[in-house]
Amino acid sequence: MKKIFKNTLAAYLFLLPALVLLVVFTLYPMIRGITLSFYHFNMIQTTDAGLPAPPVFIGLDNYKGIFGDPLFFMALRNSLLYLLIVPVIQIGALVIAVLLNRKAPGVYFMRTAMYLPVITSIVIVGIAWKWLFVSDGLLNFFLVDKLHLLSEPVGWLTDRRIALFSVMLVTLWQGLGYYMVLYLSGLQAISPEHLDAAKIDGANHFDIFTKIMIPLIRPTIMLCVIISCLGALKVFGEIYVMTGGGPENSTLTMVYYIFVKGFNDFQMGYASALGVVFAFILGIVSYINFKFFREGGLQYY
C-alpha cells in the first residue's frame, strides 16, 4: 500500500508542472473569459481618481448586442465560407502524399519542399503573397502582360468579391505540406501485405487507393478534417497581415473580429462574449465531424 502511494505521488509530481501550466494558461483564461462576457470592461477606461475602471456587470447585454450586430453575422459568414477550403486542401494533401509515398529519386527533396511553407512565419508568407497580389505585382504581370489572359489587372486583395478567396489560396498553399505529412504517416503505417494481396487479386492503382488505402487511413482523415475545419474557422494571421479585414469588411473573420473588439476598441466584455459564442460554434462543427465519421463506421475511439 505504501509503495502504491509513493508511485501515485511520484506520478502526480511529474504531472504537476504540466497541470500548473494548463490551469494558468488554459483553464483560468477560459473561466475568466466566460465570466467577463457578462461585464462591460474597457481596459483603458479610468475613474475620476485616475484608477483603472472596474468591470461593470451588465448580465446578458453583450450577448443581446451580438445578435443585433451586422458585423458579427458578416464575420461568421466569412468564417463559414472559409470552410470551402477544407475539402480542397484535404484532397490535395492526400493526393500529394500518395504520390510521394514511394522510393524515387528526389522524393525526400520534394517532401521537404512541400513542408517548408508550414514552418515559414505567417508574417513572411502574408507579406510575400501580398506583393504577388498587388495590382502591379508579379501575378498580374504574368496574367496581363506576359500570357495576355486578362485585359486589366485584378484587384486580388482590393476587390471585395474575390479578396477572401485570394486569402484562402494562401492558406491552401501553406497548409498542404502539414496535412501531407499526416497522410504520409498514415499511408506508411499500412502493411505492405494488404497492398500485395490486392495486386495479386488483380486490383488496379485506383482500386487500391479507394478500397484499401482510404478505409485504412480513415482515422487519419478524420483527424485531418477536424483540424482543418477548426483551423479554417480560426484563421487570423493571413487576414491580419494581408487585408486587415478589408475591403469593406469582406475578409472579416470571427477571430479577427474578436481581436478588433478586444484590442482595438478595448471592449473586452463584448469580445469575451464573441469568444464564447464562437467556441460554441466550433463545438458544433467538431460534433458534426465526429458524428459524420462515426456513422461512416469509425468506431475506434
Instruction: Say which residue, 60 or 7, is predicted with more confidence.
Output: 60
Helix axes 268-295, 218-233, angle to 10 degrees: 160
Distance CA 13, CA 251 (A): 47
pLDDT given for residue 295 in this prediction = 59
User: Is residue 258 very low, low, confident or very high in pLDDT (cuts 50, 70, 90)?
Assistant: very high
Which pTM value belongs to this model?
0.88
Alpha helices in the chain (DSSP H): 2-22, 28-36, 61-66, 70-81, 85-100, 107-119, 122-133, 138-140, 163-188, 192-200, 205-208, 214-216, 218-233, 237-242, 254-259, 268-295
Distance CA 288, CA 295 (A): 11
Q: Is 150 inside a domain boundary?
A: yes
Q: Tell which residue, 252, 88, 250, 75, has the closest CA to residue 175.
A: 88
Q: What is the mean pLDDT of residues 259-286?
A: 93
Distance CA 98, CA 94 (A): 6
User: Percent of the chain at pLDDT above 70?
Assistant: 97
SS (H, E, C) 88-131: HHHHHHHHHHHHHCCCCCCHHHHHHHHHHHHHCCHHHHHHHHHH
Q: Is 267 inside a domain boundary?
A: yes
Average pLDDT value for the chain: 89
Residue 23 in grid coordinates: 490551469
The pLDDT of residue 301 is above 50: no
Give the C-alpha distances (Å, rounded to integers) separating 11 from 1, 21, 26, 30: 15, 16, 22, 26
The domain of 135 spans: 72-295
Q: What is the mean pLDDT of residues 259-273?
A: 93
Assign residue 116 the CATH number of its domain.
Answer: 1.10.3720.10
User: Is residue 298 very low, low, confident or very high in pLDDT (cuts 50, 70, 90)?
Assistant: very low
Q: Is 211 inside a domain boundary?
A: yes
Q: Is 126 inside a domain boundary?
A: yes
C-alpha neighbours within 13 Å on the C-beta side of residue 70: 3
Q: Are 293 and 218 in contact (CB under 8 A)?
A: yes
Q: What is the mean pLDDT of residues 224-232?
A: 93
pLDDT given for residue 45 in this prediction = 80
Q: Is 43 inside a domain boundary?
A: no
The pLDDT of residue 51 is above 80: no
Q: Is 255 inside a domain boundary?
A: yes
**Burial, 261: exposed, middle or buried (Cβ in 10 Å; 0-12, 13-18, 19+)?**
buried
The pLDDT of residue 299 is above 50: no
Residue 121 in grid coordinates: 512565419
pLDDT given for residue 174 in this prediction = 93
pLDDT given for residue 245 in this prediction = 92
One-letter amino acid for residue 282 of the chain: L
pLDDT given for residue 200 in this prediction = 82
Q: Is 29 inside a domain boundary?
A: no
pLDDT given for residue 216 in this prediction = 87
pLDDT given for residue 232 in this prediction = 94
pLDDT given for residue 21 in this prediction = 93
Q: Is 52 inside a domain boundary?
A: no
pLDDT given for residue 296 in this prediction = 55
Q: What is the mean pLDDT of residues 225-243?
A: 94
pLDDT given for residue 7 in this prediction = 79
User: Is residue 116 very low, low, confident or very high in pLDDT (cuts 50, 70, 90)?
Assistant: very high
Please provide the size of the chain in residues: 301
Number of domains in the chain: 1
